[in-house]
Amino acid sequence: MKNIITDLENIFIDTLQDVNNQKHQLEKLENEKHDLLIEISIGIIETLDSFDKINEWLVEKELDKNIDSIRTQKRYLNIQNRLFNLLLKYGIKKMEFDNNIDKFGWSEPVETIVDNLRQDNEIVSIVRNGYYRANEVIRPAQVIIIKN
């Protein structure tokens, strides 16, 4: 009888160890999946930035009025919207700042301006859009803010 109890204890211990190992393996796979999602998302975000730069360049060079240019811009806008929707599918959103006030940890100030008529941490301009997923910052926004 004692041998049966010992055998059952060993089986129980082995089973618990297997469950624990599988739990750790699952956590590792979930972390790898998360890291891949972030890596792919950053690639998509950088592509969206490229579209913005192209549009800015077209406007700067006054090439945005040509009919062929307008058609091309519409095609780019369609692709841009598809990429935004792909990010949204996985819960990744562009950052928005309530009342133009910087949120701690959501941005990287690239420049500060003194203006006593405005409040500290007010965003003057967003240089590069930031993105987040739930409470996780995927890429911080680069902003110009007020510092008095």
pLDDT given for residue 117 in this prediction = 92
Sheet with 136-139, side-by-side order of all strands: 92-94, 131-133, 136-139
- Options 3.40.1360.10, 2.30.22.10, 2.160.20.60, 3.40.50.970; CATH for 92-148 is 2.30.22.10
86 pLDDT tier (thresholds 50, 70, 90): very high
Give the pLDDT mean for 101-107.
89
* Domain coordinates in residue numbering, the chain: 1-90, 92-148
For the cut 80, the answer to whether the pLDDT of residue 1 exceeds it is no
pLDDT in tens, 133-145: 999 999 999 999 9
